[in-house]
Structure 1
Amino acid sequence: MSETTAVRVDPSNERMLKAWDGDDGALWAKRAQRFNDGVAAYREIFFSAAAIEPSDKVLDVGCGAGETTRDAARQATEGSARGVDLSTGMLGLARRLAEQERVPNVSFEQADAQVHPFPEAGFDVVISRHGSMFFGTPLAAFTNLARVTRPGGRLVLLTWQPFRLNEWITTFRTIFAAGREVPSADLALSDPAATEELLTSAGYTGVRSTAVHRPMYFGQDVDDAAEFIVEQHGGRLRDLDEAARAKAVETLRADLAEHQTDRGVYYDSAAWLVEARRP
């Protein structure tokens, strides 16, 4: 694991650095393909909105293991794609995969996009697939991103709608609460009106949030999906006794069985496709 003091982060993002350059990031690096498979149904609509041209320079915020960065680079054949994230583990994997897949016009950097000194107006397109919801100070972050988006450039985000509209989130949060209170706070950017106000204040224009609904994949069968979900969320059961933990897992497996299809285990999900321009 890397030292977390090498990268400059805003104090409001210290907690995110600790998580993503720590255990959370390690899990996401280990399970990168499964996380990518989970949201694969959103790929076409996301990149259609990004409308990346061959000569574009693309910035991918919260790139994780770099799947979207590599996809962007393949479209920007005469340009480039740069992915930034807080997780050194995922960035290391991203670099290895780019080399294995022979994507030469891509680069990765550990950076807090809220404060990083990207080049002024240095990017034609800024994208983020579920990576823009965790900034400690969203207005400062998007003001910085607007600064580095060239005039006429585009911002395209994929963010989650409120948790109550996401079957997978509400189901797993309830099961792993195991009778305890379920946290109710939604992630940032889940309210289109607030998102429009935020991005407009940051320097973007023409902000539009489009509701999109796609099935999310969690595994090929109940055993496969249960192993993955418990690995991701099982920490919430640590303070329970063995019987309560076993009951929660049993409840999870029963719910997964109800969502088994001939293609695997799927749950409904709801996201916002957010689009904006830099005037």
Structure 2
Amino acid sequence: MNKRGFVSRILQNFRKPEGFFGRMILWGMNTGHASLAQWGMSCLQWQPEWSVLDIGCGGGANLLQILQRCPQGKAYGIDISPESVTFARKKNKKYLGTRCFIEQGGVHRLPYPDYAFDAVTAFETVYFWGNLQHAFTEVGRVLKPGGSFLICCEISDPANKAWTGLVEGMEIHSCDELKAILSKSGFTDTVIFRTKKEELCLVSHRQTVRL
């Protein structure tokens, strides 16, 4: 295997962490994405009693932040990677089973009932969701009417091929594309936040009456 192939194999762990390199990526995500997550979370008006689902919870650092922002609430995490689930559970072991619940699964078939959450978050993960309209509709299903959906991305320019050429299955979505698909999926009142870089955060709300 050549050097580029070896690097690409390691970087596949951004999509689905596995094994030793997966654990290293998860540790790096918890630290390297901390400032982006803090900025993204500042875009939402949190309530202390909220129940919140974090899709693609990775290493679990964002779940801990959610618990701190919702001191009377609960945080739920889901990730397609068993390695991520194990890592995130260790990160949140103090609250596991009482205020924090983490399981394996994907966005296209969320194992939760209708109207289960006050908010859903997605940090650095929609790149890998494939059919976004189907995914966003499923997010809408588990949100309470008027509930908030926060999407946070470090990269939002589809012309940026620096990562997509290395990480299989990764797709960069523009702000306009995400906003349009949210609208088609039953979301409204989308608010957009940007930094001087490519960083993008959208906060949208589930319609009170499902179409």
Q: TM-score range by the shorter chain?
A: 0.7 to 0.9
Distance in 2, matches of 1:113 and 1:81, equals 16
**Do 2:78 and 2:105's aligned partners in 1 also have CA atoms closer than 8 Å?**
yes
Residue 278 (structure 1) aligned with residue 206 (structure 2): yes
Alignment of 1:183-194 (within 5 A): 187-188=171-172, 190-194=173-177
- What amino acid is aligned across from residue 174 of structure 2 in structure 1? D
TM-aligned CA deviation for residue 69 of structure 1? 1.2
- Any idea what the Cα deviations from partners look like across 1:198-256, whole Å, max 9, x if unmatched? 0011111012332224xxxxxxxxxxxxxxxxxxxxxxxxxxxxxxxxxxxxxxxxxxx
Q: Which residue of 1 aligns with 2:77?
A: 83
| Deviations 1:160-186, CA, capped at 9 Å, x for gaps | 211656xxx73x78xxx8xxxx99x97
Q: Deviations for 1:118-156, whole angstroms, at most 9, x for unmatched residues?
A: 211110010011112211211111001011111111011
Unmatched segments (≥5 aa) in structure 1: 1-15, 214-268
Taking structure 1 as the reference length, the TM-score comes to: 0.61
Partner residue of 1:42? Answer: 36
Q: Which has the higher helix share?
A: 1
Q: Does 1:162 align with 2:157?
A: yes
How far apart are the structure 2 equivalents of 1:47 and 1:75? Answer: 9
CA contact (8 A) 1:50 1:127 kept: no
- Among residues 87, 107, 111, which one is paired with 1:113 in the alignment? 107
Matches within 5 A, 1:3-152: 20=16, 22=18, 27-99=21-93, 101-102=94-95, 104-152=98-146
Q: Deviation of residue 77 (structure 1)? A: 1.6
Q: Contact between 2:54 and 2:75, CA under 8 Å: does it hold in 1?
A: yes
Counterpart position of 1:206: 189
RMSD over aligned CA atoms reads: 2.8
Q: Which letter does structure 2 place at the counterpart of 1:199?
A: L
Q: 1:61·1:132 contact (CA, 8 Å) conserved in 2? A: no
Measure the CA separation in 1 of the matches of 2:175 and 2:158.
14
Q: Residues 102 and 142 from structure 1, CA distance in 2 versus in 1: closer, same or farther, beyond 3 angstroms?
A: closer
Q: TM-score, normalised by structure 2?
A: 0.79
Q: Distance in 2 between matches of 1:152 and 1:102?
A: 27
Which whole-Å deviations, capped at 9, do the CAs of 1:4-31 have from their partners, x for residues lacking one? xxxxxxxxxxxx99x61646xx533233
Structure 1 SS opposite 2:63: helix
Q: Which runs of 5+ in 2 are unaligned?
A: 1-11
Note closer, same or farther for the CA distance 1:195–1:102 as it changes in structure 2 (3 Å cut). Answer: closer
**Structure 2 SS opposite 1:72:** helix
How far did residue 70 of structure 1 move? Answer: 1.6
**Could you tell me how far 1:62 is from its partner in structure 2?**
0.5
Cα deviation, 1:34-90, whole Å, max 9, x if unaligned, reads: 222222222332111232211100000100111111211222221101000001011
Percent identity of paired positions between Structure 1 and Structure 2? 21
In structure 2, how many angstroms separate the alpha carbons of the residues matched to 1:186 and 1:29?
A: 20
Q: How many residues end up aligned between the 2 structures?
A: 192
* Corresponding letter in the other structure for 2:205: R
- Give secondary structure in 1 for the equivalent of 2:42: helix
